[in-house]
Chain A
């Protein structure tokens, strides 16, 4: 009896591990519109309304926990928060939620107008959930393919680039943030020396407050504080070949670098403009180059 149970236990364990490996292998080998991906999107589409409902019902608990968390955070950064106190007092006197939403949206509209992005089909969406898992750094939006959003579309906030759409369903979209390991974009450094060095912006995995521009020319003339924007590269001989990101979208500023690293690896560190853990509304560009 005991031997039978042990054999059954081991067999089930082996089967479960094998099924996991088969799923993983199959998922990697599949195209975006294949059965496993479709199943996943279908389940998310069903799960999203339940999750939204639970999120709304449980929002007081979340707010309470958020308040406790903020309090702990405030204690650890007391000096910094004292400096911000006067400004926060003013903001608390206003209608916080509505004002924040208005500010966010108007900032995005200003950015859209400044960079002439109207032609790129901006769609405004609310952030419903975060997935802060370090290997997935994603946010979920309340709009999807029904609003014209497609995989690969750039996502902005009022402060600049947030990331790109990695998965999309009819009523949701998953955005890989700048700090996600899967994210990379060609970036241009608007140098005071006006040589506009171009490199590849990638995250430093595990450190959401720092990005890196790699593959810079060793002779690039950069300085701390220089602004980093999307390069928006295109092939002059073939207008169809172009980056999915329009040029000039702000990403961040150079936070630190040293000449040895720059010469040896072509790398500088960048501090993103966007607070990736504190986004409520975003703008998705659905027709870049279209």
Chain B
């Protein structure tokens, strides 16, 4: 906590670095590699990883920033990707704050849901904005394949983001609600009198 106060810009700077690296890798490599006709997209995975590691507020802000950078770099309509990535970062962060999941495969599931949300959300927004062209049913097959491929790379991306953020991630994620604990051992966990060398009391 003291370290966070000493370097208040460390976390935002690291998150900005993650965003830049994610978009650069996406454009320079990942988008050029086609597997079964679709390409992976590391940007929603990066946003989800930031949410899981840093909490809902940094997650939402990172979602907005990375989404905006994607729209700027790929010359897409500004705001669409931001709109889709804000909930990804926010809900990944809320998952951390409410459940604090510790299973190693959590990033996998979160990555799959994030990709599904981004794919379906983009489809809905494009329909709302008006699409003149006929839409093939294969669109959903492509979304499904994207989810599958992104699920496969979700863990490496999560570990990569964790490494880039190492040393800057807040230990307690300020204001996060933790699971209730009594603060004391339950009677079942207390060592017995006999083991402590005391005398056994007669049963009442």
Q: Give the chain B neighbours of A50 by CB distance below 8 A.
A: 24
Residue B100 interfacial (CB < 8 Å): no
B79-134 at interface with A (beta carbon < 8 Å): 79-80, 82-83, 86, 90, 122-123, 126, 129, 131-134
Once the chains bind, are A66 and B32 in contact (CB under 8 Å)? yes
Chain B residues within 8 Å of chain A by Cβ, number: 57
Binary flags per residue of B123-152, CB closer than 8 Å to A gives 1, else 0: 100100101111111111111000000000
* Per-position binary interface string of chain A over residues 141-154, scored 1 when its CB falls under 8 Å from any chain B CB and 0 otherwise: 00000000000000
Q: Nearest Cβ in chain B — how far from A278, in angstroms?
A: 9
Q: Which of B35, B86, B139 contacts A20 (CB 8 A)?
A: B86
B73 at the interface (CB under 8 A from A): yes
* Contacting pair B36 A72 (CB below 8 A): yes
- Check if B34 sits within 8 Å of A9, measured CB to CB: no
Closest to B137 in A: A206
Chain A: interface residue total (CB-CB under 8 A): 67
Cβ contact within 8 Å between A40 and B72: yes
Residues of B within 8 A of A166 (CB): 75
Assuming the contacts A24-B80, A51-B28, asked whether A204 and B33 have C-beta atoms less than 8 A apart, the reply is: no
Q: Which of A91-99, A104-112, A131-139, A189-197 sits within the interface?
A: A131-139
State which of A51, A66, A167, A212 has its C-beta within 8 Å of the C-beta of B134.
A212
CB distance from B110 to the nearest CB of A (A): 18
Q: Which of B4-12, B54-62, B179-187 contacts A (4 or more CB under 8 A)?
A: B54-62
Residue of B nearest to A204 (CB): B136
Among residues of B, the one whose C-beta sits closest to the C-beta of A205 is B135
Q: Which residues of B sit under 8 angstroms from A25, Cβ to Cβ?
A: 79
Q: Is the CB of B79 within 8 A of A206?
A: no
A40-B78 CB under 8 A given contacts A16-B86, A65-B33 = yes
Contact A136 B175, CB 8 Å, known A129-B31, A204-B136: no
| Residue in B closest to A72 when the chains form the complex, CB atoms | B35
B74 interfacial by beta-carbon distance below 8 Å = yes
With a cutoff of 8 Å between Cβ atoms, the chain B residues found around residue A39 in the complex are: 72
Measuring CB to CB, which residues of chain A are less than 8 angstroms from any residue of chain B?
A: 1-2, 4-6, 8-9, 12-13, 16-17, 19-28, 36, 39-41, 43-44, 47, 50-51, 54-55, 58, 61-62, 65-66, 69, 72-73, 76, 129-136, 138, 166-167, 174, 181, 183-184, 202-208, 210, 212, 214, 277
- Report 27 cross-chain contacts, Cβ distance below 8 Å, ordered by A residue: A1-B175, A5-B174, A16-B61, A19-B64, A19-B79, A23-B68, A25-B79, A40-B71, A40-B72, A41-B75, A43-B72, A47-B72, A62-B28, A62-B32, A69-B34, A72-B35, A76-B36, A129-B31, A136-B76, A138-B75, A181-B132, A184-B132, A204-B133, A206-B137, A206-B138, A206-B139, A206-B140
